[in-house]
Structure 1
Amino acid sequence: MGTLDWAALGQAAPADVAATLRDADPAALVRAIRTATDEEILAVGHDAERGPAVVEGVMRRIGDVAVPDRLAATRGRVRWDSATRARESWHLDLQHGAAEVAPAGRRSGAADVVVRGTDLQLLRLVAGQLDVAAELLADRIGIDGSGDLAIATASLFAVDGTDPVTGTPVDVRDIDPVAIAQALHGVPAAHLRAVLASDFRPVVLEEVFGRMPSFVNGRKAAGVQVTVGFRLTGRPDGEVDRYVLRLSDGRASVLSGTAADAVPVGDRDATVTCEAADFLRLVTGHLSAVSGVLRGQLKVRGDKVAALRLNAAFDIPTAAAG
């Protein structure tokens, strides 16, 4: 199967770098990236001659290192714009279970999605080590166009900790709450709103609400019986996402969409209306419930005390936890 020493590429001639990446066993290539430190990857990527050779070499191996069934199910054109070097772009055409790569200037037609990232992010993506949602929320990677295709592209690769190529594909929806909380630190509100108006909106919201029951603090929730509805604005179509969160006997349950609508207003202690961006900031410790209510960011209809009591019953990982 062979091995590949990533650190050694930093001393190789550009032509040798290209040849090594071209001829490497797919699994060995992924393992080499996974075990390389960021410093080792950056040492090669920041070299004016070796860096482009690495990106081209890895891009051209995407069809070999992708999980086959995911590759077969993914169609579209992705343009990768380098954030490491100006005016360096690649087109990745995904169709019929194959990945065709060429410099963007050599292909006609627009891309379905444009991703702007660094060499390090590209390699961590291919190795199944990049948390795309956290990088996007932190404004460290740019995605313009079809978020669905961006998600599908990120899901092409086996997640770190499983076998390269044949392992479990990355699940972009498997969001680390602490990573998200840390990612939001200092992020402009306008950027957060933009992300939550994109195809990543359901990915983030469904994962956050889906994990809420696991964050109940049994001691704080003891004896608390409360039902609160959430109406989250900021969708590009002007509609709202609806959820109902129930807390009873120390356990929480979540309803969404039409199931949430089926809970009569009279059966709710309160309904909170806010932007999805503010809700995300609330549950990650970047917005306090009290200040959100006082500033009008969280509009509460019904029992405000009940809404605050619900919020206090959860121990959701925040930026401070990291």
Structure 2
Amino acid sequence: MSVTLRDVAKKAGVSIVTASRVFNGKESVKPAFKKKVFDAAKSLNYTPNLLARGLAKSNLKIISVYMGELENPYFGSLATNLAKEFTKYSYELIICDSISKTLELNRSLATSGSVLVSFGKKEVLEKITETHPVVGISCTMTDNANIPNIDLDFKDAYTELYERAVYSDKDKIAFYSPLLRQYPHLSGSKFIHVYSAMKRKGHTPAGDQIFADDDAVISFMELSPGSINCVFCENDMQAARLHGKLIKKGYKVPEDVIVIGCDGTLVLDGMWSVKIDTAKIAAKAAELFRDHAINGASNGTHTIKPEPIYK
């Protein structure tokens, strides 16, 4: 038989109303009574039914989070830090790996709001913002989607990485990204800064293309020796895989080839990368959500600058 609030109140020697006020965080309850209630709840192994309480009060503090690449360590780190920051404000997060699940969750649980990560469908974004508060992280914004968005500005980091590679006589640059191979227009936030720096020096990418996988990079290097001595990868996981395969093929990293990842979650010896501070992003997202949800503040784009890493 499950323990009820009545059982906790009886054991604590207080009324059900007092016990309820304790679990609802009411400041009017005396500290001595709070201690009695919490001690009783602990001894009885009682857990408040947050869902029922929230539905009854129409203030269920649940945030839906859309994050499409959960297998990537960067997104795992971001999810962990988002949960940590939103918990400080008594919000619970539910992670969704598709936007359809996010929309369904918003409808079925009447969530307090949403956090959308790397979302680019403008018409859907506008639809979500019509119903409840939304904070974006690296989202493609529209004039009609009046929400705060955290933007990552990679310009300084990628320009420095490129300049340092060139200074190290590694100016035969290749790009490895399955995502950008399929959707080249998405290069605007990251690799566009390397393209711009290369153009100023009269350089072009090796093979004049974006490689879709690490085997394609290595095959090109073997067919055209000396054609590639620096590879910019979409993320650290891809960079680490390329790093391992290059070593097996007898290449030295970074002496023969510089391998550059992005996100700072898996930087092997000899690799370079870009550190994206997920704790800083999460703290800013929680702050923006509270301002947006409570005060209706929509402060436009907030920029965070990642930093280069050299191992």
Q: TM-score, structure 2 length as denominator?
A: 0.31
Who wins on radius of gyration, i.e. which is larger? Answer: 2
What's the TM-score, normalizing by structure 1?
A: 0.31
- Higher RCO by CA contacts (8 Å cutoff, separation 6 or greater): 2
